[in-house]
A and B are shown apart, each in its own frame.
Chain A
Amino acid sequence: MSVETTGAPRAFALPLRRKRLGAELPGWIAYALAAPSMILLCLLMLLPIAVMLVMSLTNYRFGDLSYAFIGVENYLDLADDRTFWRALSNTFVYVAIVVPGSVALGLALAVMTTGLRRGRKIYQMIFFLPVTATVVAMATVWKYLLHGTIGPFNLVLQSLGLPAIDFFSDPDLALTGLAIINIWSLAGFNMVLFAAGLTAIPSELYDAAEVDGLSEPLDRFFSVTLPLLGPTTLFVIVTSTITAFKVFDTVAVITRGGPRGSTDVLLYTTYLEGFSYFRMGSAAAMTVVFLAIIMVFALLQTWVLDKKVHY
């Protein structure tokens, strides 16, 4: 498996500054080339976002003939809405399980597989396999796998004399069950990013560490590997956070927010508000909150990406 880095670092490579060579061309050519994209960008992105911002200030319901501007009332309602706060806190709890789990596992897998003399490729292929699998299909499999009575996971537990765990019927465990699925599908992805970071560490540093008496693998890991992987780790954490924050598919397929709202997450609540109950105004307000949080993560990501390259 390749451990190539993504296209991003190149994006920040210093471009060769050249004088424009198209100077004698008529100016409209550049506009003509960019026009289709500019029109689509306005129609599919900028205009909808503007409409959504305005809509979040109305009481519009899908199908209604009229609506009124109600100011920030939707936002005030959200602030008082316990369902919304529950969805928001569920989302953050979910992120707090998935991110450490998938980042630590991804790092462990990368360190272990790249240290192998043989078999590196086959292991990395296996760990990457869940990344390539269709989430909805694998969610159906996991739902059966973790089923409280007939799920293979519980049958194995029982045959070992352990009590069964019914993840998706237990309000205390359902979110953890979903998080386990996401860790499984994200760890291999993080492994590839870490493996790319590991190959960039010069081997002389390990020799130097050995000269300094750091011959134990764990010593070397904490004194050389981890500090030098710092920027990669930050990047992986932010990326994983964004991925986990957007959880939707497994909730929609496996738990539908239940049991008793324990897996109600932000995107799922927003989806129901807009496309099931058709309360467009309040769904738009929820989307604005979602966008605001995503923008914070994105700014962090840009900042981290900058750091990573200038390291």
Chain B
Amino acid sequence: MAAAPNHRASPRRASRRRLPWGQIGTHLVLLLLAVLFLFPFYVMLVTSFRSPSELFTPEFHLLPQEFTGLKYYIESITTSPVLTFMKNGVIIALGILVMQILTAIPCAYALAKFEFRGRNLLLALVIFALTVPIQVPALPLYLGLNALGLLDSYFAAMVPFFLSVFAIFLFRQSFKSYPDEIIQAARLDGLSEWAILWRIVVPGSIPAIAAFAVFSITTHWNDLYWPLIVIRSNELMTPPLGLATFADVESGENYGALMATATILTAPLMLVFMLAQRQFVRGVTMTGVK
């Protein structure tokens, strides 16, 4: 019997002695992986500061031999419509987000707090639509927009996303947990349903709405597929479409300017991520359940 405490204690003592080594080993593995993960970002940055002659030599230097300063950034901004792409990206992502919030909130409220005929059918449709990516309705939407003469416009770039069933689904969950008693009290006070929704229920769901906003902006800032289909003119291109087109025209000759452009277009979302990691991760990982 006396052996029992010893038996229990010995592995603990052993692990206490061993643990620092385990920790150090883990750090070494993680450091190596971190270097590998960061390498593409490093290459992007360092190439944007390198002179072209260095790119075509057979050895790779970690630092530029000749620092070009902001040359390629200025070149990128002045010779290609990078700022226009960014402006379009902001307009389209925000336009989509505003419409999604305006349409999803009332619908989510109806689904969360009302009983009406067809509610279950609507909910089933929402859940079905959750699984359908944009590539599925793309062909008919393209034909429809073409028939209406609306291709190559901000509207065409935004309209398929005016409704986010994901927002409906998410906001419904959030609204459902809002106490019915407060809503009922507000009704007795004579508030309209519209006022109850926007002044009482919505403020209680700001975290869910913020997480959705991050998710939506990230998705549409980064989307290539739909803009590639409906946008033709340079003045309307989004950052990914602009970069893909620009990279094509450059045909890989001017890597410095290309990497500077990539840096400029990647920076906004990276900055948001650095500043608001918690919200950002929450927002982005929601795609996992989408």
Stretch from A75-83, A88-96, A169-177, A210-218 at the B interface: A210-218
> Would you list 17 pairs from A and B whose C-beta atoms are within 8 A, ordered by A residue?
A11-B169, A22-B187, A30-B115, A30-B116, A31-B116, A33-B106, A37-B106, A38-B107, A41-B126, A109-B30, A138-B40, A143-B252, A155-B59, A159-B59, A189-B288, A267-B225, A298-B131
Main secondary structure of the interface of B (DSSP, over half): helix
- The answer to whether A210 touches B103, judged by C-beta atoms less than 8 angstroms apart, is no
Partner of A6, one of B114, B136, B280, B282: B282
**A280: chain B residues within 8 A (beta carbon):** 139, 143
A34-B122, A44-B159, A141-B259 known; A123+B137 contact, CB < 8 A:
no
Given A25-B193, A129-B37, A249-B224, CB of A34 within 8 Å of CB of B111: yes
CB neighbours (8 Å) of A213 from chain B are 11
Known: A132-B284, A145-B43. A40 touches B135 (CB 8 A): no
Complex: chain A residue closest to B146, CB-CB: A62
Is B64 an interface position by the 8 A CB rule?
Answer: no
The reply on A274 being an interface residue by CB < 8 A is yes
Q: How far is the CB of A101 from chain B (nearest CB, A)?
A: 13
Asked if A7 and B114 make an inter-chain contact with CB atoms under 8 angstroms apart, the answer reads: no
Cβ proximity bits B9-49 to A, threshold 8 Å, 1 near / 0 not:
00110110000001100110110011001111101100100
Q: Is the CB of A290 within 8 A of B259?
A: no
Judging by beta carbons under 8 Å apart, are B160 and A49 in contact? no
Structural contact, B60 and A30, CB atoms closer than 8 A? no
Query: Measured between alpha carbons, how far is A112 from B160 in the docked complex, in Å?
Result: 41
Task: Determine the distance from Cα of A230 to Cα of B138 in the docked complex, in whole angstroms.
Answer: 36
CB-CB under 8 A from B265, the residues of chain A are 134, 137
Q: Kindly state whether residue A51 has any CB partner on chain B within 8 Å.
A: yes
Known: A7-B211, A25-B193, A55-B140. A135 touches B224 (CB 8 A): yes
Report chain B residues within 8 Å CB of A18. 180
Q: Contact at A136–B240, with CB atoms within 8 Å?
A: yes
Q: Are A287 and B40 in contact (CB under 8 A)?
A: no
Q: Is there a chain B Cβ closer than 8 Å to A291's Cβ? A: yes
Docked Cα-Cα span, A38 to B168, in Å, equals 11
Could you tell me how many residues of chain A have their Cβ less than 8 Å away from some Cβ of chain B? 105
Whether B125 lies near A46 (C-beta < 8 A) is: yes
**Does A71 belong to the interface (CB within 8 Å)?**
no
Q: Which residues of B contact A224 (CB under 8 A)?
A: none
A294 within 8 A of B: yes
Q: Is the CB of B23 within 8 A of A117?
A: yes
If over half of A's interface residues share one DSSP class (helix, strand or loop), that class is named, otherwise mixed; here it is helix
The residue among A30, A32, A126, A184 with the most chain B CB atoms within 10 A of its own CB is A30
Q: Chain A contacts of B70 at CB under 8 A?
A: none
Instruction: Tell me which residues across on chain A come within 8 A of B129, comparing CB atoms.
Output: 41, 45
**B273, CB-defined interface residue at 8 Å:** yes
Q: Is A140 an interface position by the 8 A CB rule?
A: yes
Count of residues in B whose CB is under 8 Å from the partner chain? 109
Which residues of B pack against A, CB within 8 Å?
8, 11-12, 14-15, 22-23, 26-27, 29-30, 33-34, 37-41, 43-44, 47, 55-56, 58-60, 102-104, 106-107, 109-111, 113-116, 119, 122, 125-126, 129-133, 135-144, 159-160, 162-163, 165, 168-170, 173, 176, 180, 183-184, 187, 193, 197, 208, 211, 218, 221-222, 224-225, 228-229, 239-241, 243-244, 247, 252, 255, 258-259, 262-263, 265-266, 269-270, 273, 277-278, 280-282, 284-286, 288-289
A133 within 8 A of B: yes
A190: min CB distance to chain B, Å: 9
- List chain B residues, Cβ under 8 A from A44: 137, 141, 159-160, 162-163
Q: Please state if B138 and A132 are interface contacts (CB–CB under 8 Å).
A: no
The complex places the Cα of A178 from the Cα of B115 at a distance, in Å, of 49
Q: Contacts A2-B282, A132-B218, A290-B136 known; A215 to B14 CB distance under 8 Å?
A: yes
Residue of chain B at shortest CB distance from A50? B140
Give the Cβ gap from A79 to chain B, nearest Cβ, in Å. Answer: 20
Q: A7-B286, A155-B58, A295-B131 are in contact. Are A133 and B266 (CB under 8 A)?
A: yes
Name the distance in Å between B90's Cβ and chain A's nearest Cβ: 14
Asked if A40 and B281 make an inter-chain contact with CB atoms under 8 angstroms apart, the answer reads no
Closest-by-CB residue of B relative to A291 is: B136
Complex CA distance for A159 and B58, rounded to whole angstroms: 9
Contact B33 A29 (CB under 8 A): no
Partner of A145, one of B40, B169, B187, B228: B40
Contact pattern, A 230-249, Cβ under 8 Å of B = 1, otherwise 0: 00000110010000001011
Residues of B near A8 (CB, < 8 A) are 288-289
Q: Which of B109, B193, B225, B288 has the most CB of A within 10 A?
A: B288
